Amino acid sequence: MGAYVSHDLEGKYPAEILPFIPGSDGLASGRPWCLTHRDDVITIPRGLRAHLPYVGDHYARIGLPVTQQIVWDTDTPVEVPSGMVPSALCTDNPQRTYHLGIGDKNAFMRLCAKLVVVTPITYFSDKLEYLCLPFPFMYKRAIGGCGIGVVRCATPEDVHAAIREHGTYYQLQEMLSATAWLTVQCITTRGTTQHLATTEQLLEGYSHVGDTFPTPYDVWSVVAPLAEHLAQCGVRDMLEFNVAVVPQTDEGHAFLPVSCKRGMGSALYPTLLRYELGASAWSARTLYTTRRTFDGLDLTGIEYDCTRRCGIVLVNWGLIETGRLNVACYGTSDEQRDLYRLLEERL
């Protein structure tokens, strides 16, 4: 039996920050196409229709058996086709899970304290104890994403400015000398949890611009108690835990969870594609281009080759209308570097 697939960003993020997230206007809704199979049905916004022949030919060349059964989204409610099951990749209601600590950084910190999981020193917006926290520290919007509402504060004036700009529901957290930021991916269902992968984030400032796999850090044992607790609470969804890697004086590292998100994050697509393609190492990045269509873009020699198990895969392709393109790149570090260079030259 096939699945009915519809992944958009509404409900994953608060309405007030959606306009700031690339693809929140429906352009990101095409990205699950790469993970579908022939028996599935997918909803894609009608505005992306012109790009489908190019992207579909790309998927056919690299061996992805994507569905051709497409329901064009016209902003009206779409019923799940008869005999189909909804995609299991994003099922839980965000309003139900905020209070459990999924998508709400303050609730997440309280969950960590309950389960005796070590976290950074953090104060919440309903307390004034932050006056005791030495500057500089971080203001973080309690419900946010993609680095939105994360501000370094060196003075009380910085704190007040951040509150005015980003809201009164926040947390203030110690500055971390993190050498890496990890995303631990898992799926919870029927009271159990399965670890999918741990990826390392690529950052520009505080903005998340990509991911890489594998990482030398093994942090599942730190996150597992949190994931297992949420599974026992009835959560059925894909989860991503963000974890800071902080060096210790004994040459070891502390692994400090800071948040948990639900649903299909950007790193989950290349993770699941890795199993589909039989690839190993990968990275994913958002590239910039003057193009607004795929007309004339030649991927010869750089798109994924199943015999060599390396190459480029288009993932969040709808963003090309805004001058962006999110791709997954499989292969060794040297192969990835060369592939990105060649792709950027053609973009």
74 and 8 co-located in one domain: yes
The upper half-sphere exposure of residue 83, i.e. CA atoms within 13 Å in the direction of its Cβ, equals 5
AA letter at 206: Y
Tokens representing 41 are 């049905």
Residues 102 and 226 in one domain: yes
The strand pair at 137-141 and 207-213 is best described as unpaired
Cα 77 to Cα 113: distance, rounded to the nearest angstrom: 41
pLDDT value, residue 204: 83
Total domains present in the chain: 3
What residues form DSSP beta bridges with 70? 42
Domain end among 235, 262, 289:
262
- Domain end, chosen from 262, 286, 319, is at 262
My answer on whether 161 and 277 are in the same domain is no
Within the chain, how many helices (H) and strands (E) appear? 7, 16
- Residue 168 DSSP one-character state: S
Q: Which stretch of DSSP H or E encloses residue 339?
A: helix 333-346
- Tokens 């504060």 -> residue: 153
How many CA atoms, within 13 angstroms, populate the side-chain half-sphere of residue 84? 21
Domain with residue 165: its CATH number is: 3.30.1490
Q: Mean pLDDT per 10-residue run, the chain (347 residues)?
A: 58 47 63 89 88 97 93 64 55 65 92 97 77 86 82 93 92 94 91 94 84 96 96 89 92 93 86 91 96 97 96 96 95 97 97
At which of 174, 190, 210 does a domain end?
Answer: 174
Residue pair 217/298 in contact by the 8 Å Cβ criterion = no
Same domain (yes/no): 71, 102: no
Q: What is the pLDDT of residue 106?
A: 94
What local confidence, expressed as pLDDT, does residue 266 receive?
84
Q: Which residues contact 12 (CB under 8 A, 6 or more apart)?
A: 90, 94, 103, 145, 261, 262, 263
Task: For residues 102 and 212, state if they share a domain.
Answer: yes
Strand blocks (E) in the chain: 3-5, 41-45, 70-73, 85-86, 122-124, 137-141, 150-153, 170-174, 180-189, 192-204, 207-213, 237-247, 253-262, 282-288, 311-316, 324-330
Q: Which residue has the tokens 């990045």?
A: 285
Within this chain, do residues 52 and 130 fall inside the same structural domain, yes or no? no
* Same domain assignment for residues 98 and 218: yes
What the block records as the tokens of 26 is 């429906």
Could you tell me the residue range of the domain that residue 168 belongs to?
A: 122-174
Which two tokens mark 322? 């805004």
Does an H or E element contain 135, and which? none
**pLDDT for position 294:** 97
3-state secondary structure of 251: coil
- 112, 249: one domain: yes
> Is 182 found in the same domain as 107?
yes
Please report the pLDDT score of residue 23 as a whole number. Answer: 44
Of the candidates 311, 260, 316, the one whose C-alpha atom is nearest the C-alpha of residue 289 is 316
Please state, in angstroms and rounded to a whole number, the distance separating the CA atoms of residues 35 and 13.
Answer: 22
pLDDT value, residue 18: 40
Q: Please answer whether residues 189 and 88 qualify as being in contact, where contact means their C-beta atoms are separated by less than 8 angstroms.
A: yes
Answer yes or no: are the C-beta atoms of 199 and 271 closer than 8 Å: yes
CA atoms within 13 A on the CB side of 319: 20
Residues 155 and 201 in one domain: no
* Judgement on whether residues 251 and 325 belong to the same structural domain of the protein: no
Domain harbouring 232, CATH code:
3.30.470.20
Residue 273's alpha-carbon distances to 84, 90, 121, 147, 193, in angstroms, are 22, 17, 37, 25, 20
pLDDT at site 302: 98
Give the helix ranges, DSSP H, for 151-242. Answer: 156-166, 220-232
pTM for this predicted structure? 0.88
For residue 266, CA distances in Å to 104, 106, 144, 235 come to: 19, 23, 15, 20
Question: Is the same domain home to 98 and 187?
Answer: yes
